[in-house]
Structure 1
Amino acid sequence: MTFTKFSMAASLLAFSASALVPAAQAADFDDYARVISVTPQVEQVNVPRQECRTEYETSQRNYPRQQQAERSNGGAIIGGLAGGLLGSQVGGGNGRIAAAAVGAVTGAIVGDRVENNGNNGNHYNDQPSYESRPVRQCRNIDSWESRTNGYAVTYEYHNRTYTSVMPYNPGSRLRIHVSLTPRP
């Protein structure tokens, strides 16, 4: 009789354990469904970008005029004496006096230019100068891109059709989780 008491106790224990575990766990399983179609869900996204180029800008630059520099007369005096001496060596009589005078004037002009470097006393000239400098110019340009943000997947399972949006393309088969629960 101990054997029947033991088998009856085991049956009671098995029944009470099955009452604690929900019946839905036994009806959950994974299976595969046939994929009928996959449609990418595409959206247009603006990704602005910056386009830059370098251009050269030319501007005029006038140098400020400085005050008259002091001129030296030493060159004119020495040039005049040298020209007069050389001119007096040429010709005779009144021609000699004329040659000396022309030599003195010419020597004075040449001596003045050599001494004062031909700048007429100005440190800067009145001619404008031009300078070119690089200028970077940028602008924003709209750049539209197509992005796939998911896939509308239509699949068939046990002669019924379902559609879900998924983050990836599942291919020709879709793994699904099936859960069966009894209706009350």
Structure 2
Amino acid sequence: MKMHAKLLMTVLGVAALPLAHAVEFEDYGRVVRVSPRVEQVRQPRQECRTDYVQQPVQQQQQRSAGGAIIGGIAGALLGNQVGGGSGRAAATAAGAIGGALVGDRVDNDGRPVGQTVMQEQAVRQCRNVDAYESRTVGYDVTYDYHGRNYTSVMQRDPGQRVRLRVNVEPESY
């Protein structure tokens, strides 16, 4: 009999166990108000613009020496025909120099040896600026459940109703 009494008490204890513990179930509450939580987020970025400026550029042009050589020879021959004695040598030298200058100018179209020209150059200028962006980081949701209002923060807008997990526990005395 003692064994039957122990078994009966164990069965009754296991049957009473759910009554002493919490009961959980799902239900729905009616959404009363939804307010987005907005946060300002700093977004640094770079702003650039391109300006065009005039800058001097030294240009080296290809020049021919052929005109100066031929001009120098022709000038020396002409200078040699003028004058006599020591004046003839001076006239030959002057003719060679003059002929070389004229021959160079004719051959190279009067282009100077090096020429500075103004050229438009693109100059990119950048600076860092702070931009701010508004982001929704959650929602304050107020809902009604059995005549009482509750507020909770949620990641998404739940719509017209919110699913609830209801936990019922007996009050301890």
- TM-score for the superposition, normalised by structure 2: 0.65
Query: Which residue of 143, 146, 153 corresponds with 2:131?
Result: 143
**Residue of structure 2 equivalent to 1:77:** 76
Tell me, in whole angstroms, the C-alpha distance in 2 between the residues paired with 1:63 and 1:166.
70
Gaps (5+ residues) in structure 2?
61-67, 83-94
Q: Which amino acid aligns with 1:15?
A: L
Instruction: Quote the Cα distance in structure 2 between the aligned partners of 1:44 and 1:23.
Output: 49
Q: C-alpha displacement at 1:108, in angstroms?
A: 8.4
Q: Structure 1 residues 59 and 35, CA, compared in 2 at 3 Å: closer, same or farther?
A: same
Residues 1:44 and 2:66 aligned together? no
TM-score computed with the length of structure 1 as normaliser? 0.61
1:140 and 1:28 map into 2 onto residues whose CA distance is 55
Shift of residue 75, structure 1, vs aligned partner: 2.7
Amino acid at match of 2:169: T
Paired letter, 2:154: M
2:26 aligned partner: 30
Gaps in structure 1 of 5+ consecutive residues: 65-70, 85-106
Query: Is the CA contact 1:24–1:179 (under 8 Å) kept in the aligned structure 2?
Result: no
| Map 1:9-24 → 2, pairs under 5 A | 11-18=8-15, 23-24=20-21
- Bigger Cα Rg: 1
Residues 131-174 of structure 1 show CA distances to partners (whole Å, capped at 9, x for unaligned) of 34332211223322111011010001111111111111111111
C-alpha separation between the residues in 2 aligned to 1:79 and 1:16?
140
Higher normalized strand content (fraction of residues)? 2
Which residues in structure 2 correspond to 1:1-184 (within 5 Å)? 11-18=8-15, 23-25=20-22, 27-61=23-57, 73-79=72-78, 111-117=99-105, 124-125=113-114, 128-183=116-171, 184=173
Helix, strand or coil for the counterpart of 2:10? helix
